[in-house]
Amino acid sequence: MEEGRRGGGGTALRAAALGSAGFLLLLLALPVAGGAVYSAGDLLTFHLPARHFYQRCIQEGDPSDWNPYLFCGHSFLGEGQAGTVHPFHRLLYGALSLPAAFDLEVYASYPAALLGMFLFLRARGLLLPASALGAILFSFGSFALFHFSHSPSVAILAHLPWILLLSDRVLREGRLARLAAAGVALLTASQLLLGHPQTVGLSLLGEAAFASIVWTEARPRFRCWVVLAAAKLAGLLLASVQVLPTLESLAHSIRWDPGADFATSFSLHPANFLQLLAPYAFRSRAVGWLTHEFALYPGAVVLPLAWLAASGRGLPRGSVLLARGGLVLAGAAALLAMGSYAGLGSILGSIPVLRSIRVPARAIVLMQFGLATAAAIGFHRLLASRGENPVGFGRVPWAVVAPLGGALLAIGGVLGARALGAVAREEVAGTGVLLLGPVLLGGAGVLVHLSLRGHGLALALLVPLAAVDLAAFGMGYGAWRTRPLPETLASVPAPPDEPGSRALQGPNTFLFKGWRQVGGYAGLPPRQLLDYSQLASLRVAGVGWIRWDTAAPSLVEAGLRPGEGPWWQVPSPVARVRLVSRAQVSSDPRRDVSTIRVEEVALTEEEVGLPGSGGGQATLEVDRPGRIEVATEADGRRLLVVSESFHQGWRCRIDGAEARTLPVYGDFFGCVVEGGSHRVVFTFEPRSKRLGIWLSAAGGLGVLGLLGVGRSRRGRVLVSAPAAAAPSPSGPPAGAPRPGPASPPRRG
């Protein structure tokens, strides 16, 4: 009879929970079922062109470390977000077509996060439906869905629950602790190889918060902490082949010293916290024009369930610590996300690496992780309570009154903020949409209240409600924006000429049609010394075309000629490779380039001993990513100039002998060649990568070493009760102790 009252017993609850997870995964996959590609935001403007270049390099046998299509060439390895050295990416783009590989890369993060969070919560002793709810709230929360276009960031965060699961084993010296330590190292390396350091830092904060909970709960031995720290260090070393080039690119990027306010740009406006109770109060879901950075709605079921867990009544100590620790993490993350609004500008702007990282609002993900964990524990408590009131509601249905009243107050706050001018009038939604908040929060409260009173149907509906709620709020923002690849390629604007010279500026999708450009879109754009609003700089860079809407007035005055459609033609761009017999030493090429005849004179940082007259011929024979081969013929000493970005990683060999690569015009490179016929070969071989390979090898040895140091003493297993041993939702006989997430015994 009790099982019937609880909505069909454990089987029905498990089916509802697992079915809700499957529903979300299916919903995410449907838009690309017909062969389209995900194309929201950065997916189209950055990631898809980057993967197109990466795959072409794999197919043609070229190294992908240098991308000649953006910024007159830049370190593609150092940019990092394509994950060019990640084994999963190498497998995907080496084996599948571009649309299939790209869609699978973007999609895979969600089932990975879902399964990882599910297993983490099960290992903490939560029942299956509660674990499924926590996994859904984390994997399909507003951060994950609204950052759909930031695929590396979502992929990195999908590692977090897996790392926590394995770290728990290491700290408790559980079974397979050696493998767990090696797993932590490999997952840490995997995160770093995906090339988004800010998100890796957020993951580390989450790991630190969980470690503090385990320390309070179980007091692990010092040896366990050493093993865990060694695992993280081994992971860092293993990923050095990506980490060192990224640090090098950062040092040569405009982000290295971006200004005092950069670190707190895109801080979370406090009005956005009204989303917790009024998710549809704002027309674009959030206050601020970057909706995907500021959306933080965790789901209507979260607050009543998290409050139920935070009360702590009837829960083991370990579960109470985990729930309350999750809420503390959520509060700390919310403070960090506010950035300048919380007075953190001076702190973030004074730390060398942190001041190069913007958008503190991304700490929202830790807030949602903490809330999802607490809500899962609260739902577990509902499942285990057998209809008894575990928190002493008394006669007042607080599960309904609190969220419904909070939603109504939030709406009042939104309207008040609009009236006072704190929120722009056009940002606030209409009255009808505003009321969706109270309906959702009130409905969730009613289900929780009825579940507390033992109504099984209400209990079974909580997970499906959470799934539908999150999908309705965030799925349409990015996941459902897709386009067939041929249509995408056909829509790419291109100059009315065959690729040869460069274009000044345009979308990264230019490279689909073989066009190179002076600018581009990247996370770590390199510093450029020349002023490309000046005609002389464009000619030196070999720019042949410029869109009229990006033309500076100085270019028009200098004689820029209209071409076909929106394109204007740059007169007489210099050749990509050429020999010059005159060089002028310059400490300010930005100023001096407009004072010389760029066809005849080069600007260098030092005297190179040219004769000042004479001719010569330079023939470009090989022009591949990271490799340029030139045949030269001259009657005397000349400077070979290549209009490709200078980088310390370019190595020069003349007739097989090492030669020095020189910066020319500040932004480009070249070398001195003597008279006669020569073959000059430039290859991109950055020292950061060479050193990174050696350190990665050391990290690999470290991972092997971990397999021999994490063994616990035979028979000494201190780990949470396995999920399979967790009690069923029907509960124990009357009078028996109520079940809950197992709390491991404390060490003496």
Residue 236 scores a pLDDT above 50: yes
Single-letter code of the amino acid located at 500: G
For the chain, what is the largest distance between any 2 Cα atoms, rounded to a whole number of angstroms?
A: 102
**Residue-level pLDDT at 422:** 72
Residue 188 region by backbone torsions, left for phi larger than 0, else alpha for psi between -120 and 50, else beta = alpha
- Every domain of the chain and the residues it spans: 80-387+398-474, 496-569, 577-689
For 160-172, write each residue's pLDDT tens digit: 999 999 999 999 8
**Residue-level pLDDT at 721:** 38
Of 282-286, 499-503, 584-588, the one with minimum mean pLDDT is 499-503
**pLDDT confidence bin for 5, thresholds 50/70/90:** very low
CB of 108 closer than 8 Å to CB of 725: no
**pLDDT confidence bin for 11, thresholds 50/70/90:** confident
Residue 672 scores a pLDDT above 90: yes
**pLDDT confidence bin for 454, thresholds 50/70/90:** confident
**Residue-level pLDDT at 549:** 65
Q: What is the C-alpha separation between 278 and 200, in angstroms, rounded?
A: 31
Q: Residue 547: is it exposed, middle or buried by C-beta count within 10 angstroms (0-12/13-18/19+)?
A: middle
DSSP helix/strand/coil, 253 = strand
Of 385-394, 680-689, 697-706, the one with minimum mean pLDDT is 385-394
**Distances, alpha carbon 497 to alpha carbons 442, 532, 568, in Å:** 61, 21, 12
DSSP helix/strand/coil, 545 = strand
Residue 391 scores a pLDDT above 60: no
Residue with tokens 């070393």: 237
Residue with tokens 């997430």: 741
Q: Residues with Cβ < 8 Å from 295, sequence gap 6 or more? A: 142, 143, 146, 275, 285, 286, 364, 473, 474, 477
Residue 489 scores a pLDDT above 50: yes
Residue 720 scores a pLDDT above 60: no
Single-letter code of the amino acid located at 317: R
496 or 225: whose pLDDT is higher?
Answer: 225
Q: What is the C-alpha separation between 368 and 142, in angstroms, rounded?
A: 8
Q: What angle do CA 553, 555, 557 make, to 5 degrees?
A: 70
Residue 426 scores a pLDDT above 80: no
**Residue-level pLDDT at 416:** 79
Q: What is the C-alpha separation between 556 and 563, in angstroms, rounded?
A: 13
Q: What residues pair up with 638 in beta bridges, in sequence order?
A: 673
**Residue-level pLDDT at 552:** 64
Helix and strand totals (H; E) in the chain: 29, 19
Q: What percent of the chain has pLDDT over 90?
A: 57
**Measured in Å, how far apart are the chain's first and last C-alpha atoms?**
44
60 or 725: whose pLDDT is higher?
Answer: 60
| Edge-to-edge order in the sheet of strand 668-673 | 577-580, 638-645, 668-673, 662-664, 601-604, 582-585
Residue 266 scores a pLDDT above 80: yes
Of 316-330, 372-386, 441-455, the one with minimum mean pLDDT is 441-455
Q: What percent of the chain has pLDDT over 70?
A: 89
> Phi/psi of residue 281, each to 5°?
-70, -25
**Residue-level pLDDT at 503:** 81
For 301-314, write each residue's pLDDT tens digit: 998 899 888 887 77
Of 87-101, 419-433, 652-666, 710-724, the one with minimum mean pLDDT is 710-724
For range 605-618, the mean pLDDT: 90
For range 191-214, the mean pLDDT: 94
Q: What is the C-alpha separation between 137 and 303, in angstroms, rounded?
A: 12
For 322-368, write each residue's pLDDT tens digit: 999 999 999 999 999 999 898 887 777 777 777 778 889 999 999 99
**pLDDT confidence bin for 718, thresholds 50/70/90:** very low
**Residue-level pLDDT at 710:** 47
**Residue-level pLDDT at 745:** 42
433 or 253: whose pLDDT is higher?
Answer: 253
**Residue-level pLDDT at 657:** 95
HSE-CB for 64 with a 13 A CA cutoff: 26
Nearest residue to 473 via CA among 262, 238, 282, 314: 282
Q: What is the C-alpha separation between 303 and 665, in angstroms, rounded?
A: 60
**pLDDT confidence bin for 712, thresholds 50/70/90:** very low
Structure tokens at 58: 């794999």
DSSP helix/strand/coil, 658 = strand
For range 516-544, the mean pLDDT: 91
HSE-CB for 69 with a 13 A CA cutoff: 24
For range 77-99, the mean pLDDT: 94
Residue-averaged pLDDT of the chain = 86
**Residue-level pLDDT at 461:** 93
CB of 377 closer than 8 Å to CB of 315: yes
Is residue 569 within a helix (H) or strand (E), and if so which, with residue range?
strand 567-569
Residue 386 scores a pLDDT above 50: yes
Structure tokens at 308: 């139920």
Q: How far is CA 208 from the centre of its chain?
A: 20
